[in-house]
């Protein structure tokens, strides 16, 4: 992991010895983007936009990535999209009533033209697959690059270990073995294949915690189910 991307506050986090999902106790709150809720129902938030480049890897369904994008835009971020699934993203923007003032499409590999700032952060979403996309270049301060992967394989080891934040939906057994080995969470490997469809494993600074995405009624109406299909 590169850079101190903090979960707010970083307490109750699991690094080893996960024996039962029901035993996890997590707390988070304060400012930042809310990823979801912990077991006690409290918000789990991350400082997604920082005065340094930030890398986010999402392994899971498109709706999960779109949910995170929607929440980032609620913080004032402009969404830039590089995708091989342009109709799906156009549909998302149309459903949410978002226009060019909020989101823009870019060719794969292109960089957003206006520089981001604390008042105008940017979320660059790279949803082009490993064959087309590879590993995006390091960005700039106040821009977060969100790489979206439908599935994860050996070609994703570099983004897995270099990302500041990793969001994992329920994985296959092969994916869980690869991810757990790469990130050092072998004792949590079996849970990665059994978590609730709306739960994610949130990894930052070498720590893993379980978070329910907990879409609001409006988010559910706009996006539908956010589980990995």
204 in Cβ contact with 1 (< 8 Å): yes
CATH code, domain carrying 134: 3.40.50.300
Q: Which two tokens stand for residue 7?
A: 């979960």
User: Does the structure show a pLDDT above 80 at 75?
Assistant: yes
Tell me whether residue 30 is in a domain: no
Query: How far apart, in whole angstroms, are the C-alpha atoms of residue 180 and residue 185?
Result: 5
What pLDDT sits at residue 131? 58
Q: Report pLDDT digits (tens) over 77-107.
A: 999 999 999 999 999 999 999 998 999 999 9
**Are the C-beta atoms of 65 and 127 separated by less than 8 Å?**
yes
Cα angle, residue 44 at apex, residues 43 and 49 outer, rounded to 5°: 120
Distance (Å, rounded) from C-alpha 213 to C-alpha 99?
25
Classify residue 15: in a domain, yes or no: no
What is the pLDDT, as a whole number, of residue 123? 97
Residue 18 domain-assigned (yes or no)? no
pTM, two decimals, is 0.85
The pLDDT value recorded for residue 12 is 38
Which region, left, alpha or beta, applies to residue 120 given φ > 0 means left and ψ of -120 to 50 means alpha? beta
- The least confident of 5-14, 144-153, 178-187, 209-218 is 5-14
26 has a pLDDT exceeding 80? no
Domain hosting 81: range is 37-107+120-223
For residue 126, the cross-strand partners are: 82, 147
Q: Collect all residues with Cβ–Cβ distance below 8 Å to 113 and sequence separation of at least 6.
A: none
Note whether 158 and 135 are within 8 A (CB): yes
Q: Name the average pLDDT for the chain.
A: 86
- Total number of domains in the chain: 1
């Amino acid at each position: 992991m590169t850079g101190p991307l903090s979960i707010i506050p970083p307490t109750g986090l699991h690094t080893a010895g996960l024996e039962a999902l029901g035993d996890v106790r997590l707390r988070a709150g304060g400012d930042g983007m809310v990823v979801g809720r912990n077991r006690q129902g409290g918000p789990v938030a991350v400082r997604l936009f920082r005065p340094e480049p930030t890398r986010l890897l999402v392994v899971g369904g498109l709706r999960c990535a779109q949910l995170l994008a929607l929440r980032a835009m609620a913080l004032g971020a402009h969404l830039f999209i590089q995708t091989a699934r342009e109709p799906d993203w156009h549909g998302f923007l149309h459903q949410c009533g978002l226009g060019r003032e909020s989101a823009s499409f870019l060719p794969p590999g292109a960089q957003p033209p206006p520089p981001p700032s604390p008042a105008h952060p940017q979320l660059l979403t790279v949803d082009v697959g490993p064959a087309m996309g590879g590993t995006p270049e390091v960005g700039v301060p106040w821009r977060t690059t969100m790489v979206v992967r439908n599935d994860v394989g050996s070609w994703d080891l570099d983004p897995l270990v270099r990302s500041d934040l990793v969001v994992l939906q329920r994985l296959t057994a092969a994916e869980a073995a690869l991810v757990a080995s790469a990130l050092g969470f072998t004792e949590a490997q079996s849970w990665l294949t059994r978590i609730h469809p709306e739960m994610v494993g949130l990894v930052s600074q070498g720590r893993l915690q379980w978070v329910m995405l907990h879409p609001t009624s409006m988010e559910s109406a706009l996006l539908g189910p956010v589980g990995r299909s």
